[in-house]
A and B are shown apart, each in its own frame.
Chain A
Amino acid sequence: MDGKIITVALVGNPNCGKTTVLNQLAHAHEAVGNYPRVTVAPREYKISHGDWTIRLVDLPGIYSLSSKSPEERAGRDFILFKRPDVIVNILDAGNLDRSLFLTTQLIEMELPRVHVLNMADEARRKGIVIDRAALVSMLGGPVVETVATSGEGLATVLDLAIQQAGAAHQHHVSVGYDIHLEQAIERVGTIVKDLHPAELTPRQCRWLAIKLLEGDEEILTREGEHSELIEQVNEERRQFSRHHGEKCEHAMAAGRYGFIRGLLMEARTIPDSVDAGGVAIDDVLLHRLAGLPILLGLMWLMFEATFQLGGVPADWIKSGVDLVSGALRSLLPESMVRDLVLDGVLAGIGGTIVFLPNVVILFFFLALFSETGYLARAAFLLDRVMHLFGLHGKALIPLIMGYGCNVPAIMATRTIESERSRVITAMVTPFMCCSARLPLLMLFAGAFFGAQAGTMVFIMYMLSIVTALGSAVLLSKTILRAKSEPFVMELPPYRLPTLHAVLFHMWENATGFLQKVGSVILVGSIVIWFLQAFPRDVDYSRDYDAARVEAGQIQDEAERADAIGKLALAENGEKLEKSYLGRVGIAVSPLFRPLGFGWKDTVAIMTGVVAKEAVVASYAVLYAEGKESEGLQRAIAASMPPLQAFAFMVFVLLYLPCLSTMGALRREAGGWAWAGLSVVYSLGLAWGLAFIIVAAGGVLP
């Protein structure tokens, strides 16, 4: 222990409420959800408690300490090698039978522990009564009952943790195995003791012997230098499975479960029949015939609500923005500053921020799906379909999360055990139409497709998942031939989402969106405004002033106004084309000419690489006419035919992951090569599809 600083790790099965506990204790805002493996990497918070400083670490959920998947590894390695001062072992009070399996391993490691029986509300509802005093003595550490969602019982957890860290005396308990296993443990333990005479206590020797007999690869490698020990262990394991028809580690697991059964028999009363959780609801939602249509219907409902309901507050925001820009226009004197504020900052921000309601509603639904436990069921329902595409059922969760934001979605692929399957999922996740692409799609759909706008956007969403699945097939058939991996997933019980959790999730994402608007979009809009406003003195191809004088001579009043108006437009247009921005856009635009995109579209596409929301902001600045917000839609509608617009939507939907997503891809898939491949592939695909659309549309009448 370093003075008054201790490390406390939250350890437990997936989905037992560890992160909820962390959020309560550390006033943190980490993601929770009612499905296994929300947390995929350790998270540390420093909190002060009395005169102690506690480093509280939330670990990914694990079922046992001999786990294989990367995020389970992270949890296990933290416990085994970082040796936290105290373990706060979170257990699902309603499902102690399985939760305690991990505890039996912690008992053997002799780490100071506090046992937290979380979800006590659910256990009570099931009619389960727990004799805490009995558990305390049988588990060898304090036991607290809590309801993490309400905070009930959490007050004492930190006190107990500190007390355990300082406790000089450990209360020892042992998990007993069947006689043959005990003898083997004894024999191996003796060799271990001889090899490490001074440094290991008898209990540590026992632990090491058990791990070795379980065939724990890391421990075996660590002891690899002691060849006689390894030989003895291998011989014991061989002998055991020959005589018992069962592998040593399986018999050990059975022994642990036997210990748990005995313990619970004494310390728990449970009604005869306990509902495993929502069987009646599952009868409907997982129905043989209705299950899949219901899933599709719910998805449709989510998108429909996102657009229809989102439209109402969007109109209010629009009017608000118009009001502000109108007021500023009349207040500020005509100057470059006024142009910058109105046509740069306000146009860019206003153009993006109107989509806030849509984004918030989308996240409301995503929170609802994940908090109720339906998301895990969707993975179950679609596993077979996903399998056809070379993906794992669990891949559905990252893919659906991708509709929110690709970055956490790519992180979530860590829950997939096999490396290849995981890389495939990470690689195709960027095709999922994240909420940042929504503004552009809505802008274009609104501008070009009027009444069919909603349908168009729905088509785009479908296209995004079809592309993701198609690409998965391609990857799994070519560079990433994955052999299919097991689908082993605990189905969480249905839970009523707390209003707090859902609102909070919406709030987090709304503020995230606003932060982006206040940073990337703000800076982007200003930069774009400057690039399109400079250089101030361009070399015009003709003398507009002279032409204006000439036009002033026209007799007919209407004709004269028309001519002058046309001149102003032409001058503005030429000025924009010769601005820095115009020059860059024109230099790159040959790439997009076959698709029928102009240089302004090119510029918008380029800015989207930083953040997808920026595409709309760029348009807003480029077309800024300081008019009401509808002006942008009209200006865009006039800039290209609907066919090109459709191709453009497809292009923006699929091209390039944004910078943060590329970063996430590099981390999760392991290397820039993957991020690079993703760039090349998605650009090529987006371009190719857009080209096909334009070409096919040109052939068709």
Chain B
Amino acid sequence: MSADIIISVRDLQKHFNAGAVHALNGVSVDIEKSEVLVVIGPSGSGKSTFLRCLNLLERPTGGSVVFEGVDITAPRTNINLYRRRMGMVFQHFNLFPHMTVLRNLTLGPTELLKKPQAEAEGKAMQLLERVGLADRAGAYPSQLSGGQKQRIAIVRALCMEPDVMLFDEPTSALDPEMVGEVLDVMKELAKMGMTMVVVTHEMGFAREVADRVLFMDEGVIVEQGTPEEIFDRPRSERLQSFLAKVL
């Protein structure tokens, strides 16, 4: 195994409803350190399921996910330790509404990483500064716009100092005028060398930021390659017709 592979996915299978739904049908991929991997595909193709299997929010029914050499799908692994190292950003933000922004950001670091409160707050404020939201530290999530919520959600994940960031359609629930501010934060992250797996319908972002694009359909990776290969020279008919619809 090459030294700079951080997550290695082997023959991933996921059935729902006692086998009635076959969401993933043998997905294998190696994710390299500092790589930005963008996953595209039609609705119901298994993109979210794939992403959620990486941190075991969904338990795969077959295959394995190996994180830095450790098979985290093995029954005895303590998945909580690995989830800390994989930040996740959801379509609907999922900020904790009963806590201030600052508490949202420091809860994990203080309770799980056992950081002193002051240190956790310092780090949180520093990151808030970077996304331009330092003045909202004392606000509650209900007082923020969608774009602000999503930037806070990204910062919340970053406060755990993860090795990988997982994004599941982070801009799909946003008003169009707020998409840019979230994508800008993600671009900056990519520039800083964060390993990212991004499920998105933002083809512009994929083309600009992705190192590699995966096209999924019906639970399998149909095609993968650089943005140029995927968008300019699609080989399979399924990808061609998908692109014709979305571009």
Physical interaction between A and B = no
- What is A's interface to B at a CB cutoff of 8 Å? none
